[in-house]
Chain A
């Protein structure tokens, strides 16, 4: 019997339920400890952020610039000062010297697995000069056949809204997507359509 008691005694060791201690000193200790830990961690994060922020911002700006150069090479990109329509996160006027020659827009549209963010270049006649995907979460080897393939994206070059919205695999203003990656193709088309819609009122006005 005494042997059998051993496990029982062990199980009883974790203290039986005690009423919650409301000793003010104990509560203070809890609060101060947690607060101190938070303060130290916050301080460390602040320092890290101060060191890395310039580098991160620079990398982001560099990436955005590279994407703009890819879709519409130019001397200068001037931010458009007006309220951005839905789905458009950045809008620049493209300049060669002092003449404006078109726009570059950053648009986001729903893909198959998440949002696809892309840079779309549009010239003064409302024709697409290039599309470059900046970020996406499409399925490797399926959706990426659209968003990571510059050959596919380049098929959008020269398309416009002259004959209405661009439609996927149908209609007169037709973009042939990649079979098996319909939703990713749809996302790219939607992003380009949004960009073309946004610039539509300004096309041919300069």
Chain B
């Protein structure tokens, strides 16, 4: 178990969004404000870590033929629990994320990690993997949210900071609402992916191999 390596993979070399391109739907749809991005990221990280732990615990009990069904039941259970908890304790977030909370069930990152990692590794390693991948997902969501909220609405942290009003950085005539729409999501994501690839390039050359890709 190599914590540093797993964290680096989650954040950069195996980032679920920027490199594996998983969970695109929620990434594009909800990154319109920091509040949404952070909330979704934390919810997914919690569910991913919990489901990774449980699936890793059960990996020897679950027969191979029904593993996908079993994983989905476990994941759906956690998602519903988080959904109910959000509705009960953080109504604003539950409202603004809406249908995207139940849709975490079909978020490929979670089933992907269950199948690719948790079903083959120890409980501790799976927990760390869930956490690292979740953090990688959250960081991307937060970055995208901040960019899109600033360019699309001209605010920063609307819904959480400054007593829920956020900080207005641009006058109402400047924001390009295009960026806050799905089109802007694709544009932002594309630019971010290109930027990560560019950033990772020198590192690859130095290592002289593609070790990053297990």
Residues of A that sit less than 8 Å from B by CB:
26, 29-30, 33-34, 37-38, 41, 44-45, 48-49, 51-52, 55-56, 59, 63, 135, 137, 139-142
Establish whether residues A140 and B153, one from each chain, have CB atoms under 8 Å apart when the complex forms.
yes
Say whether B95 contacts A140, CB under 8 Å: no
Greatest chain A CB density within 10 A among B58, B80, B84, B89 is at: B84
Q: Complex formed: what's the CA distance from A149 to B32 in Å?
A: 19
- Bound Cα distance A37, B175 (Å): 49
Instruction: Point out the residues of chain A lying under 8 angstroms from B69, CB to CB.
Output: 34
* 5 nearest CB pairs, A to B: A41-B77, A141-B177, A52-B88, A55-B88, A52-B84
Interchain CB contact (< 8 A) of B65 among A30, A37, A44: A30
B58 touches A37 (CB 8 A): yes
Can you list 17 pairs linking A and B with CB atoms under 8 Å apart?
A: A26-B63, A33-B62, A41-B77, A44-B81, A45-B81, A48-B81, A51-B88, A52-B84, A52-B85, A52-B88, A56-B87, A59-B87, A135-B95, A139-B177, A140-B180, A141-B175, A141-B177
Q: Could you say which of B61, B74, B88, B177 contacts A140, with CB atoms under 8 Å apart? A: B177
Interface of A is mostly: helix
Q: Which residues of A contact B181 (CB under 8 A)?
A: 139-140
Q: Which B residues lie within 8 Å of A135 (CB)?
A: 95
A38 neighbours in B (Cβ, 8 Å): 73
- Minimum C-beta distance from B69 to chain A (A): 6
Using a CB–CB distance below 8 Å, which chain B residues touch chain A?
32, 58, 61-63, 65-66, 69-70, 73-74, 76-77, 80-81, 84-85, 87-89, 91, 95, 98, 152-153, 175, 177, 180-181
Q: Are B74 and A37 in contact (CB-based, < 8 A)?
A: yes
List residues of chain A with CB within 8 A of the CB of B180: 140-141
A137 neighbours in B (Cβ, 8 Å):
98
Q: Which residues of B contact A55 (CB under 8 A)?
A: 88-89
CB-CB nearest in chain A for B71: A37
Contact B73 A34 (CB under 8 A): yes
Chain B residue numbers with a CB within 8 Å of A51 are 88
Choose one: B74, B152, B175, B177; the contact of A41 (CB below 8 Å). Answer: B74
CB distance from A147 to the nearest CB of B (A): 13
